[in-house]
Amino acid sequence: MTPKQPKLFILDIDGTLIRGREVLPGIPEAVARLRAAANVRFVTNNSSVTAQDLATKLTSLGIPADSSECLSSAEATAKFCRERGFPSALVVGSPALKSSLGLPEGDDAVVVGICREITYELLTQALQAIQRGAEFIATNRDATYPLEGGLFAPGAGSMVAAIEAASGVTPVVIGKPEPTMILQVMESAGATPEDTYVIGDRIETDIDAGRRAGCHTALVLTGATPAPVPGLECYLSLVEFVDRLGI
Instruction: Check whether 1 has a pLDDT greater than 70.
Output: no
- The count of other CB atoms within 10 Å of the CB of residue 161 is 16
The single-letter code of the amino acid at 15 is G
Sequence-ordered list of residues with C-beta below 8 angstroms from that of 94, at least 6 positions apart, any chain: 47, 48, 49, 74, 113, 114, 115, 116
pLDDT in the model for residue 24: 95
Is residue 223 within 8 A of residue 19, CB to CB? The reply is yes
Element (H, E) at 85: none
Q: What is the DSSP letter of 171?
A: P
Phi, psi for 75 (deg, rounded to 5): -75, -35
- Does the annotation mark 108 as catalytic? no
Out of 12, 108, 195, 208, the active site residue is: 12
Report the distance separating Cα 50 and Cα 215, nearest Å.
25
Instruction: Check whether 2 has a pLDDT greater than 60.
Output: no
- β partners of residue 11: 42, 199
Instruction: Check whether 213 has a pLDDT greater than 90.
Output: yes
Is residue 179 within 8 A of residue 146, CB to CB? The reply is no
Q: Could you report how far apart the first and last alpha carbons of the chain are, in Å? A: 17
> Would you give the distance in Å from CA 27 to the centre of its chain?
18
- The count of other CB atoms within 10 Å of the CB of residue 77 is 31
> Would you give the distance in Å from CA 211 to the centre of its chain?
15
Residues above pLDDT 90, as percent of the chain? 87
Domain residue spans in the chain?
8-45+176-245, 85-173
The CATH T-level fold of domain 8-45+176-245 is: Rossmann fold (3.40.50)
- Residues 124-175: tens digit of each pLDDT: 999 999 999 999 999 999 888 877 777 889 999 999 999 999 999 999 999 9
- Residues 219-243: tens digit of each pLDDT: 999 988 889 999 999 999 999 999 9
* Rg, the chain, Cα only: 18
Report the distance separating Cα 111 and Cα 91, nearest Å.
5
5 confidence band (pLDDT: 50, 70, 90): confident
Q: What is the pTM of this model?
A: 0.86
pLDDT in the model for residue 10: 98
Domains 8-45+176-245 and 85-173 share a fold: yes
- The count of other CB atoms within 10 Å of the CB of residue 29 is 13
* Averaged pLDDT of the chain: 94
pLDDT in the model for residue 193: 96
Instruction: Check whether 3 has a pLDDT greater than 70.
Output: no
Kindly indicate whether the domain formed by 85-173 is annotated with CATH number 3.10.180.10: no
Beta pairing class for 216-220 and 18-19: unpaired
- Does the annotation mark 201 as catalytic? no
Q: Give the mean pLDDT of 206-214.
A: 97
pLDDT in the model for residue 145: 80
Out of 14, 201, 206, 208, the active site residue is: 14
Q: How far is CA 94 from CA 54, 77, 100, 121, 164, in A?
A: 15, 13, 10, 16, 19
